[in-house]
Amino acid sequence: MAAEEQRNEKNSEVENNKIRINVETAIEEEGEETKRATVKGKKANQPRIDKAKRRYKTRSSDDMEKALSAYEDGRLKFNETCRVFNFPKPTFRSRLEGLNMHKKIERKKYLTKAMKDELVNHILELESRFFGVTTRDLCH
């Protein structure tokens, strides 16, 4: 019985040392605020560490233009072009077909330039006659 208790104490002491070592190495590797400690396969109550956001590989437009011209001139085949210029096949295919082109993001225009000028002149005319026009009046 005493021998079994001694074995249990040694096992718990070894386990505590392993946990302490895991905590110490995590502190050394990750820094104080991102330390991780594992206790029997479970994470201890530590602050959550956010994973780094995925960063897409940025490619220069010059390389894409060179690749498109090489393919269209017939110097390289499709697979060769993708391999030589290191483009994913779906990306290169979409550029060939003219898809996913960068569009200028802006609101839909409801008034033409002439209509805007006429509205501005009308508001200025009302203002000169002392009819105060508020933004609420303009919206309704």
Q: What is the pLDDT of residues 62-108, one digit of tens each?
A: 888 899 999 999 999 999 999 999 889 998 898 888 876 666 677 78
Distance, in Å, from the CA atom of 42 to the CA atom of 45, rounded to the nearest integer, reads 9
User: Structure pTM?
Assistant: 0.36
Q: Where are the alpha helices (DSSP H) in the chain?
A: 2-30, 61-73, 78-85, 89-97, 113-128, 135-139
pLDDT classification of 12: cutoffs 50, 70, 90: low
Percent of the chain whose predicted confidence (pLDDT) is above 70 = 56
Interior/surface letters 85-110, b for 16+ CB within 10 angstroms, e for the rest: bebeeeebeebeeeeeeeeeeeeeee
In the predicted structure, residue 121 carries a pLDDT above the cut 60:
yes
In the predicted structure, residue 43 carries a pLDDT above the cut 70:
no
The type of residue at 17 is N
Distance, in Å, from the CA atom of 73 to the CA atom of 66, rounded to the nearest integer, reads 10
